[in-house]
Structure 1
Amino acid sequence: MPRPIGWLSSVDGQGRENIAPYSQWQNLTFDPPMVMFSANQYPDGRRKDTVLNTEETGWFVWNMATYDLREEVNKSAQVLDYGDSEWDRLSVTKEYADNHRIPMVKESPVKFECQCKTTLRVPGSDDAARAGLEGSA
């Protein structure tokens, strides 16, 4: 069965915008409301842009990825150089979060503006499995 996809948007300290699909995310609790996502590293040890951006700014947005948005979600899965924005390749409308200037997908019916509470690096069996991130909405 396919896993639900969380479409995470973030921005780095220089204002460069990023969006990427994540299948390893979960609602943790409702009081306080918390969302968690997990991000493996690249095999060469580089960490994902979403993780770097979230740690740098303290914020990310979870956008619900729906069936109608599936083609755009797939486009955003491309591996690009750090600082290159997937947003430039998408046919969606940007709107900005209230708490931190992060772009969100206007067409997404549900969006959570999340403040990062902690990062937990979990040991894995290889270099690609050594990074994780927890955040809070």
Structure 2
Amino acid sequence: MQLDFSTLAPADAYRWLASTVTPRPIAWVCTLSADGKSNLAPFSFFQVISDEPPTLMVNTSVRDDGSVKDTLRNVRETGELVIHLVSAAQADAMNATAAWLPHGVSEIEHADLATVPSERVTPPRVLGAPVAFECQLAEIIPYPADKPSSYLIFARVLLAHVDDGVMRDERHVDPAKLDLVGRLGGTQYSYTRDTFNMIRPK
């Protein structure tokens, strides 16, 4: 089977990409608007893209009506965000924050989530998240530049909070204890519990 992406409608291109490039980690992003209203939203077009400087990338799509999501709007206004990884224990809560709520309505309150203050940035952290990265905006890139269908948020990591309960030792995270979920196609997700080892050749 071959797919000519130059002939596919955007929705079909998304469906094929999202169902084949899997599993994808989920960025659970907390931001505040300039007037202090909180937003919490999950994004599966997400990845670490640099270790020097330590930088994460989150892709926020443009809505069908041309409007942008509150996450992007807030990051533009404040330059701060907290990116959480999603454990299996918090999968339902993450899904609850994916609901389309009116602008200014807090997903944190909607999902009845507890938070704790961050140390380097203003947006709070979700209590119980296994990993949370406090980040400062590095750059926002519209893509494609001439007619953006998405905006790439490059977030420089200032401080990471790693739950002691997911550590194997002082230097290593235990993937089984981390117990993250990944995004597949459609409504499907996966666990990161089934792992194996391979030694890279010299």
TM over 0.5, shorter chain: yes
Give the percent of matched residue pairs that are identical in Structure 1 and Structure 2.
29
Residue aligning to 1:66: 87
Deviation of 1:12 (Å): 0.7
Q: Distance in 2 between matches of 1:38 and 1:54?
A: 13
Q: Does 1:134 align with 2:154?
A: yes
| Aligned pair partner of 2:137 in 94, 116, 126 | 116
Contact 1:59 1:100 in 2 (8 A): yes
Deviation of 1:97 (Å): 1.1
Q: Does 1:29 align with 2:42?
A: no
Deviation of 1:92 (Å): 2.8
Contact 1:92 1:107 in 2 (8 A): no
Q: Distance in 2 between matches of 1:44 and 1:77?
A: 18
Deviations 1:29-85 (A, max 9, x none): 122211110000110011010011011100000011111100000000011111111
Q: Does 1:50 align with 2:77?
A: no
Q: Distance in 2 between matches of 1:28 and 1:113?
A: 16
Give 5+ residue unaligned stretches, structure 1: none
Q: Normalized against structure 2, the TM-score is what?
A: 0.63
**Given the superposition, is the C-alpha separation of residues 5 and 29 from structure 1 closer, same or farther in structure 2, using an over 3 Å criterion?**
same
**Given the superposition, is the C-alpha separation of residues 15 and 25 from structure 1 closer, same or farther in structure 2, using an over 3 Å criterion?**
same
Q: Distance in 1 between matches of 2:52 and 2:144?
A: 29
Q: Match of 1:119, SS?
A: strand
Q: Distance in 2 between matches of 1:100 and 1:79?
A: 25
Deviation of 1:135 (Å): 1.8
Residue aligning to 1:9: 30
Deviation of 1:131 (Å): 2.8
Residue aligning to 1:41: 62
Q: Does 1:19 align with 2:12?
A: no
Contact 1:8 1:63 in 2 (8 A): yes
Give 5+ residue unaligned stretches, structure 2: 1-21, 158-202
Deviation of 1:123 (Å): 1.6
Q: Does 1:107 align with 2:125?
A: no
Aligned-residue CA RMSD (Å): 1.8
Using CA pairs under 8 Å that are at least 6 residues apart, name the structure with larger relative contact order, 1 or 2.
Answer: 1
Instruction: Decide which moves more: 54-63 or 89-98.
Output: 89-98
Contact 2:80 2:122 in 1 (8 A): no
Q: Match of 2:143, SS?
A: coil
